[in-house]
Structure 1
Amino acid sequence: MRLPLQISAAKNYFLGLATSGAIMLGGLFYFNSAKTDERPPDSLETVNYTKTEKKELSEFNPNDLSESDWKNLGFSERQVATILKYKNVVGGEFTSKEQLKKCYSISEEKYSELEPYILLPEKSPSDSYQRFTNYPSNGGSNYPYRAYEKKSLTIPGKFNPDHFTADDFVKMGFTEKQASSILKYKVYLGGSFISKEKFKDCFIISEEQYRKMEPYLLLPEKTPENFSVKNNYRSNSPEKAKIAYQNFDPNLIDLAGWQKLGFSEKQAQVIINYRDRNLKGSFKTLDDIARCFVISEEKFEEMKPYILLNPENFKTTLPKKSFSESLVTKAANESESKTDFSKVDINQISYKQLIEFGFDEKSAAMMLSYRKKLGGFVNRQQIIDTYDIDKNLAQKLISTAYLDDSKVAKYTLAEAPEDWLKTHPYFKYSADKIIYHRITNPEDRKIWKLIKVKPEYEAKMRLYLK
């Protein structure tokens, strides 16, 4: 019979087909697995996004993020460096989501994850494309502003950028404005680019441009360890004359003597008043001198080795007056000390008047010291904010006396003296940033964008700006 033979043949046929299929699937699985392991480094770096711990995202402005903030979003150290370099190349600030998306260190997958939380407009104004297209686009014929790509640099051979003029940089391929900014950066460094490292730090020069110039630069590779920027650009303050100290007894010198030690006439008078009124005529210890609020800690340390406190020069207690003499003196003092505080300007109020009003010596000294550092009070809240002061008494003072701020010095960020910026309580923490950025951005509006201070600090700073 032929029927069993036919069934056996069919069975063998399907068994062979199934075996072949299994071999083929195994081969495809092995091939795909091997291909995955052979991904290029960039692909592996992108995959790292999924390995980082998933963090809860919240709204953020990428212009406010520090290096550690970018790392917290899941980027590697190398990717963060690329993002920050890209930010410098596009002008120091991302202007839109679209611009941020073009950074090749941010994959499409990662951008899609972050996009709902980014506090930037979808697209930049058209002029910003023209301004910032010196960064290579991601390619594609549909890129709308491709016509504005950066000119290629022409390197004349080995060169020292310290010897280059603005025209030389323009001939190389930079715009006139860029060339001017590069030279201002050199002035900021003290008149020399110092090293290849410092030349590379100039934010006008992109990574691509530096790579092209680097083999031709006649500069040392590394910056000297003892190098520091002296920040003498646009400095208007004369150098203080060095004091030639000699041994002196602070209980014997007069107003002129304190001025010879480097104090102003007003400061010298405060020191004498402090000695004669608060200390009853004599400094008896070094601490007595150090506590005088117009003598800074640094100045005291300078004078300390030359101070001679001779007990023979201490003033003794005055003989007691008779009862009738005391009454006459007390009445005279009371008539002299009666001050109409409604006619007193808080920016002119004296130490003696503050004591008369009811402040203790420490509070009075603190208020005058704070007023001096500010250059004068601009609003009444500043008086209440004075450190370690009786708030109730301060409130009473500002409701009684008047405040005239017409003589308080005010500047623009672009023109403010460096010494003023570095010592003013509201500006000193941003002083270096302001001095640096105004070299290439002399407009206050641009400087504000670049220094990025918190709104509450900005409000205080604007009190002293024109």
Structure 2
Amino acid sequence: MIREQRVGLLFLLAFIIGTEIYIHRDSLFSGKVEKDSLPLNIQNIINSENQTDSKPILTTYFNPNAYSEADWQHIGFSKKQASIIIKYKNLVGGHFVSKEQLKQCFVISEEKYNELAPFIQLPEKITGNKTDHSTFTQYTLKKFNPNSFILTDWKNIGFTQKQAEVIIKYKELIGGKFISKDQLKKCFVISESKYKELAPFIELPENINQNNQTYTNTTYTLSQFNPNQFNSLDWQKIGFTQKQAESILKYKKSIGGIFISKDQIKKCFIISEEKYKELAPFIQLPEKINKNEQEKFSIDDKTIKYTLSKFNPNLYSSADWQKIGFSQKQAEVIIKYKNKLGGRFTSKQQIKQCFVISENKFNEIEPYIQF
């Protein structure tokens, strides 16, 4: 009789828990439920069973969408918690699309989430446009040299087709070869979180060792020069190798086809700090672009009257940019800059970095930019 009573009580408890979960299904779906606001019997699942006694240390990246109940248990969750995570995934559409979404599952404590987060192969959040890295391919990272990677290889480690194409174009732009991790990090389609995931596996030095930056032994005498008038041979005459000279010209092309300050030349990765200091006194350009100088990068002084409204910069032609106050030359530079980014802007920050758009001008158009 006592045994039957115990069985009856267990069934009753299961019924109560099931009823509470059903009642709170909307909160579970929205992911906004707070643990303290849950009924005590649900909190007990979190508190009394918390994570299992064994605390495996994660050393590999994983895609939570590929995880079964057994996999969740393997990384420290109880059987019941693992079951709830799977049910939560089904409630939100059958797969997780961001770390933020996973974090909202109430059986995953803040501490446990912080332990898992660095290894989760999902973007931090979903923006109004798209994810940071919108593929959900499961992959295992191992040591690799990015210079040997083709388009498919980049896709195999979580990049989209478009992102992979941009990385390949970027490599060509900087001379056909990555020579440091820092160089790869500067590629705009590689987010900060994605770079941190890849960095331990990249077989390249962190930075370019300026001491290893080799120049020719050509004897030369420096005189005042305008770098915009230099071709490949001219750069070679002042100590650069043919490969370095070609990279400088590609860099100039990438920033709109013209140097407008010494600071721009200084930022060219091919030119070491020591080499720049040697050249700087002879370069016929201002040190930096100030706002007034930037505004001079205009064909005429005509004031164009215009009214701003919401616009998508990816749909703008040269004529459209001119209609909102840019000169023809500035508009052409913006179009070239967009093409160098893979044919489209993906953030306002990218637009802000275009050197012909002054800070004042960006602040004026920023509220109207939409993607």
Per the normalisation by structure 2, the TM-score is 0.31
TM superposition score normalised by structure 1: 0.26
